[in-house]
Structure 1
Amino acid sequence: MEETISLYLELKPGQKADFEVVGLAAAAFSEAVKEIAYVLDPGLDVRLEFESGTEGSLSLNAVLKVLKTRDGQRGTLLGIVIGTSIAFVGDIRQWGSTRLLDYYFPKEERLQLDSAEIDRIASACKKVTEGKIASEPIKRVYKQLDRDDVITSVGTITAPNTKPPAPVPRSEFQIRAGLIPPVETSPKSRTARSTERLTLISPVLLHVHRVWRFISPFGEFSYLMEDEKFLDDLLTGKRRLTMKEGIQITAKIETDEVFEGGVWTPKQRHITKVVKIHKSPGRPDLFSQPVKRRSRKKKND
């Protein structure tokens, strides 16, 4: 079992990076990856092998190889990649663990992770951004890269011939290296908008904005129901919601997030519009009465 994560260095056109700088930065990068791996799974035996580097933009391809395979290690490998990548993202506030998972890996692969694995990855990312994991080797990467003016930005990629989602520009190298203090310029809160397919757990059938409980692709959460037309149609009988197991809706979601501890943390989820109620065939109405079968009369001989 293996996964690839590459340290991607953008260079000035027609120039090459300093060999010593790249070598020392690669060594520090390797140490950071190993420390993040140890935190996610202390028993994980990981070997990093730098496969190749290319000119123009320099990509140092580190192959994470699990030497002893056991259950749950696929999620751990993804966690190592995301936990490392978040240290090399330009605007951390725009790139949380979930968004990085969506960027680097296919949706089908992410959906195979259970809620505990996703929480573990998010926790590791938060600790990396707070400087609680791999802080020193990450600082050394930036300190080395700052020595070479040819390097204009740095990021991470997981596939060849691609570019990082939001590379860290050279202007931030000294800040990330801890050589100068950061300057606060970004907002502390934001609203993220999405469309999600949700499975209903518990509704509140009242003419008020109350919290409904759903299972989403990212786990089980509470959502404030704010679609007044949907709620009114439901309570007046214009729209029927048959009480069956596994009721699903597609809805437009607004999530209030606050930037704390170096990551965007969801505080309140709102359903602003119910787009569709999906049918759930083959499952009985929980409140329906059993249908009596008519007995067949025997014909007289």
Structure 2
Amino acid sequence: MEEPEQAPLVFYIDLAEGQAASLESVARLSLAWSELVIELCAIIDPSSEVEIIVVDVVDGCLKIRTIVKAIGRVANQRPILAACIGGILSTFFHKPVDDLSGLFWPMVYEAMGLTHVSHTDENTGIDRAVVEKATIVAQKTNVASAQKQRLYAQAEADSSVIGVGATTSFTERPPVFVPRSEFARRAGIVKVEIETTRVRTITRRENVILLTPQLRAKKLVWKFADADGNLFSAKMADLNFINALQAGSTGTDLRIGIVMDVDIEMKQEMFDGVWLTQSFEVVRVRSPAAPIPAPDDRNLLFYEPRKPND
């Protein structure tokens, strides 16, 4: 049986000074990290079957040290492990790899056991063009989007986590971190409003599949499926879209199966330490886009009355 290729890969979680992440948080982040690695490797090299082995978890800075193994499922087809490692690393960069090549390529070569090899050495067995292509693919927002969002959503949920990054070194910090200020955006969360200690509102931008449209100009409940196929109902509360619906100017024919880019507001309440969603509202439809009506053209029946103090 063909021996698998393997390379070290570390998910690095930066913690606020004097704080520690909970065991539950570490477990959730570890699972999200594993899902991201497996998904990206499958996209970059479909011939590979990836196994992730946890070496250890180091406290304090919280390094989840892993070994990524890959073996070709197709006879005589070698997994492109360097490209997989490069793609995973690139998802934590803020700039194109070309701008950070002085940081990026040493990590890729180190992962493959070629720490001191010249980047132009033709005997490395690494096809730089293939690795570069993989990094471009991996950085696209629609590639492994669910896995990326899940990882950053878990990081956002733990206030002790102030940054995350990836590296191939078991001893050195990653040269580039994604700061906490980026978590919500990368998780698809537009904003989080804490109303009380037990109630909060989260607004998340998502691509959803329309299952049951309500083709009347009222705030009615529509049915959708999210990216994972989970079904949910949400009240259509985008008044501009409701007005456009009545005017027949939503930009497309609304039908079952159409993908919509929307902002969803979720009202959540805490029960036994767990946030449970009580209701969904679509507060903005980004696509299909409806034209913004002029004030005089609005059907005022579908707009909330202004309060005396507004």
TM-score tier by shorter-chain length is 0.5 to 0.7
Q: Name the SS for the 1:89 alignment partner.
A: coil
Looking at structure 2, the residues matched to 68 and 94 of structure 1 have their Cα atoms a distance apart, in angstroms, of 29
Q: How does 1:1-301 map to 2 (within 5 A)?
A: 1-67=5-71, 73=78, 76-92=80-96, 95=99, 99-105=103-109, 106-108=115-117, 110=119, 111=121, 112-113=123-124, 117-180=127-190
Q: Name the SS for the 2:189 alignment partner.
A: coil
Q: Which amino acid aligns with 1:163?
A: R
Q: Which amino acid aligns with 1:159?
A: S
Q: Which amino acid aligns with 2:189?
A: L
Q: Which amino acid aligns with 2:33?
A: F
Superposition RMSD in Å: 2.7
Q: Name the SS for the 2:58 alignment partner.
A: coil
When residues 167 and 114 of structure 1 are mapped into structure 2, their CA distance, relative to the original with a 3 A threshold, is same
Residues 183-236 of structure 1: CA deviation (Å, up to 9, x unaligned): xxxxxxxxxxxxxxxxxxxxxxxxxxxxxxxxxxxxxxxxxxxxxxxxxxxxxx
What is the match of residue 287 of structure 1?
Answer: none
Gaps of 5+ in 1: 182-301
Kindly indicate whether the alpha-carbon contact (under 8 Å) linking 2:57 and 2:65 is maintained by their aligned counterparts in 1. yes
Q: Which amino acid aligns with 2:67?
A: V
Identity rate, percent: 24
Residues 65-105 of structure 1: CA deviation (Å, up to 9, x unaligned): 1345987747x111111101111224457755675123442
When residues 126 and 156 of structure 1 are mapped into structure 2, their CA distance, relative to the original with a 3 A threshold, is same
Kindly indicate whether the alpha-carbon contact (under 8 Å) linking 1:90 and 1:169 is maintained by their aligned counterparts in 2. no
Looking at structure 1, the residues matched to 167 and 181 of structure 2 have their Cα atoms a distance apart, in angstroms, of 21
How much does 1:7 deviate? Answer: 0.5
Residues 239-262 of structure 1: CA deviation (Å, up to 9, x unaligned): xxxxxxxxxxxxxxxxxxxxxxxx
When residues 13 and 99 of structure 1 are mapped into structure 2, their CA distance, relative to the original with a 3 A threshold, is closer
How much does 1:5 deviate? Answer: 0.7
How much does 1:64 deviate? Answer: 0.8
Kindly indicate whether the alpha-carbon contact (under 8 Å) linking 2:103 and 2:175 is maintained by their aligned counterparts in 1. no
Higher RCO (CA-CA < 8 Å; seq separation 6+): 1
TM-score by length of 2: 0.52
Q: Name the SS for the 1:88 alignment partner.
A: coil
Kindly indicate whether the alpha-carbon contact (under 8 Å) linking 1:86 and 1:97 is maintained by their aligned counterparts in 2. no
Gaps of 5+ in 2: 110-114, 192-310
